[in-house]
Chain A
Amino acid sequence: MGLFDKLVGWLRLKKEVNVLCLGLDNSGKTTIINKLKPSNAQVQDIVPTIGFNIEKFKTSSLSFTVFDMSGQGRYRNLWEHYFKEGQAIIFVIDSADKLRMVVAKEELDNLLNHPDIKHRRIPILFFANKMDVRDALSSVKVSQLLCLENIKDKPWHICATDAIKGEGLQEGVDWLQDQIKTMRT
């Protein structure tokens, strides 16, 4: 990123942030992004994402551009191509899928060890989604299974969410906004 780009970035009135939304397939990434959009822009039917979608939503002081990536196994190798652009990461976990928790951990470890991510102090927001499902794991249990306590060099936060009702999303986005503001100043 050249000096000119940085100048343009600072001069923007409403700061723009690029966010990567990652997670395994069927964890609820598109549903979460959809819920964060203004109610008149929300879509009704959510289908499995092919490749990735670019979505935008705004909070009180920031304008987010989200790369909503597909989580299917065959598209997961696309993720790393967007790591450079990401200034924050939203990682969505299906807390009802105990079997694939190891797969989520593996993808997270790959992500954290990637050279584009490893030495940057970017905030990571975890959504332990599908809290409404009967035998879902708690956010504490999810963070234990993913060994989140081992992330020392990046600010992170985990929220239990129900993306269909929208519960828990606002808390997470507020945290993300605070983190990005503190990083800028």
Chain B
Amino acid sequence: MSSLESKGDGGKWLDAHYDPVAGLYTFSSCVDLADLSGDGDSRLVVGDLGTGSTGMKLKVYRGTALMSESTLLDLPAGLVALFIDQFEPRIPVVAVASGPCVYVYKNLRPYFKFTLPTLEINPVEQAMWQQVREGQIDPVMLKEMLEDVRKKADVPLSDRSLRFLSLAADEVDEFVQLHKQQPIRRQTVIICIGTLKKSTADEDGISCLVIGTENANVFVLDPEAFNILSKMCLPAVPTMMDVTGQFDVEFRITVACRNGSIYILRRESEKPKYCIELPSHPVGLVRVGKNVIVGCSDESLQGFTQKGKKLWRIPLPAPITTMAAMELPARGLQAVLVGLANCQVQLYRDKNLLSTIKTPDAVTSICFGRYGREDGTLIMTTKGGGLMVKILKRTAAFDERDGAPGPPLAQSVRLNVPKKTKLYVDQTLRERENGLAMHRAFHMDLSRMRLAAARTYVKVLESSLTPMSCSLSEPLKMNAVVQGLGPSFKLTLNVQNTASCRPVMNLAISFLYDDNLYRIRNAYMRIPLLVPGLIYPIQTFVECVSDKGVSDIIKVFVLHEEKSAPLLTAHINMPVSEGLTLS
């Protein structure tokens, strides 16, 4: 048992299968479990994204083996299995949404393709392309006119016009020749897909498809005829969707949108009834019972009622990668699984952490349900394309541990208070006895020190020895850096004008040094105009001419060209030259 405990999930899960090289790249929205042959043996249906541009496949797993594989035409946005007819045996169809279409597979064969209705086209745009076809306007003029329409009109341009506007001048003619004969169309694409029971709540009842599109609409489709039963509008583009209820009775569609809000749609209303505004973007949306659990990009999990009232918020140890609901009605278990970027999957019932599963890689999709003949199966795919199947033990019981973590760890750390020795006690005794004399002596010394400091300061100001200039007309700062081992050194002076908006002009630099020891290439330099804020590195080369291994101080003066008193001064202690001059 101890080996199981050390795995971190409390020995509640059985490792049924792990294939680290399954090559499954997918998200939770593209994974579903369904009894595709009607024999009571559930299969795993996965819309594999491949590399994102090639190798999109519809894969079906049975047990530990890949059962079938068929190529998808486009990147899948979502995949659901649903019943669309009453025929026996009850075999569900698989609906894969990609681009503007929903491909429906029956018995894993293409059965039906539903395409979203095209959107209305700007009449002005249509007229323009008509004129192009008739040869009345040339591409350059078309470009100008389309640009006008794009800025003014409230109906957006079609894909073709937008593509045309982005072309370079030499590609325009060819593009127009190629496309002018075809009528223009404007289409939208499907972002998310869900299912909604038509009239019964049975597990194998007929379901409607629910589709969220890029132009912020939600459609409910008829299961038999695939026409649109209901159309709803959202204020923003939907990204995730959760559907409950029955279409004929009452339903709720909870939609997370790209603007960071969650909208709740109900029957008989075209517009969302409730809105939840989140402080950060939603990355996972799961409904557990009557509550909506949202995973946010600020590493937190939040619970809301179905009317949008916030119930709780808990921080998570890492960013969320995916979320899924875990429902096992036979054991009365309703919880939410959260995949984290730190290679963990955490199980929460409301706001209580029930268990943590450690995974060898970050999980990108989670699916919990009946797989094969086992009801409590957890299927996960990892970032590296691995497939992991875990089965909940029959004897596993989830008890809510106390959510409060107890006193913080810092409380038990002892404070670092230094100890006092006998020396300290003796000192305090002396202070107690001779307090008056000590006070007087100290104040006398302090006054003397102030005097000495003031004297030195005045002396420094008089001879401008400071590397900071405090005069109001030329606030300057300078520091000097010496690089190299010798005999030649590189001397860099960083001069900066610290005024807020006044440039400084007509400055020069002069060096004072011992001729016998050093040679400087140009001992007098003019400084360019100093723009406030910038640091000007001014470089020169110093060569040590002595072979005695002695070093000296070089003084640098920054002066105004008309005045002889230096503005600021720097003293550079030259390092000992570690080489010999060749000359």
Contacts and interface: CB of A to CB of B under 8 A. Distances in A.
B16 A103 contact: yes
- Chain A CB within 10 A, most for which of B15, B394, B395: B394
B397 interface: no
A135 interface: yes
B394 A76 contact: yes
A76 B63 CA distance: 22
Closest 9 CB pairs of A and B: A102-B14, A99-B63, A98-B64, A99-B16, A102-B16, A99-B372, A99-B64, A26-B373, A106-B14
Nearest to A48: B40
A112 B394 CA distance: 16
B394 A106 contact: yes
B134 to A, nearest CB: 66
B225 to A, nearest CB: 37
A50 to B, nearest CB: 15
14 contacts: A25-B373, A26-B373, A73-B330, A73-B374, A97-B63, A98-B63, A98-B64, A100-B391, A103-B14, A103-B374, A106-B14, A106-B393, A106-B394, A135-B65
Given A98-B17, A100-B391, 13 more contacts: A73-B375, A73-B394, A74-B330, A77-B394, A99-B389, A99-B391, A101-B16, A102-B16, A103-B391, A103-B394, A106-B393, A106-B394, A107-B394
- Chain B CB within 10 A, most for which of A97, A99, A106, A110: A99
A73 B14 CA distance: 15
A77 B394 CA distance: 9
Nearest to A135: B65
A182 to B, nearest CB: 34
A101 B17 CA distance: 10
Q: How large is the interface on B (under 10, 10 to 19, 20 to 34, 35 or more residues)?
A: 10 to 19
Q: How large is the interface on A (under 10, 10 to 19, 20 to 34, 35 or more residues)?
A: 10 to 19
Contacts of B15: 102
- Judged by DSSP, the binding face of B is strand
Interface of B: 14-17, 40, 63-65, 330, 371-375, 389, 391, 393-395
B16 A100 contact: yes
Contacts of A98: 17, 63-64
A76 B14 CA distance: 17
- Judged by DSSP, the binding face of A is helix
Contacts of B393: 106
Contacts of B14: 102-103, 106
A79 to B, nearest CB: 11
Contacts of B64: 98-99
B542 to A, nearest CB: 78
B330 A100 contact: no
Contact of A102 (B40, B65, B373, B391): B391
A73 B330 CA distance: 10
Contacts of B330: 73-74
Contacts of A106: 14, 393-394
Contacts of A102: 14-16, 391
Interface string A61-101: 00000000000011011000000000000000000011111
B257 to A, nearest CB: 38
A100 B374 contact: yes
Given A106-B14, A135-B65, A100 B395 contact: no
A25 B14 CA distance: 17
Contacts of A101: 16
Nearest to B17: A99
B116 to A, nearest CB: 38
Contacts of B389: 99
Contacts of B371: 99
B353 to A, nearest CB: 24
A106 B50 CA distance: 36
B332 to A, nearest CB: 13
A85 B40 CA distance: 33
A100 B372 contact: yes
Interface string A118-138: 000000000000000001000
Nearest to B376: A73
Nearest to A101: B16
Contacts of A73: 330, 374-375, 394
Given A100-B16, A102-B15, A103-B374, A110 B395 contact: yes
A101 B374 CA distance: 12
A97 B394 contact: no
Contacts of B391: 99-100, 102-103
B7 to A, nearest CB: 14
B49 to A, nearest CB: 25
Contacts of B374: 73, 99-100, 103
Nearest to A26: B373
A99 B395 CA distance: 18
A96 to B, nearest CB: 8
Nearest to A98: B64
A137 to B, nearest CB: 11
A40 B391 CA distance: 41
Contacts of B375: 73
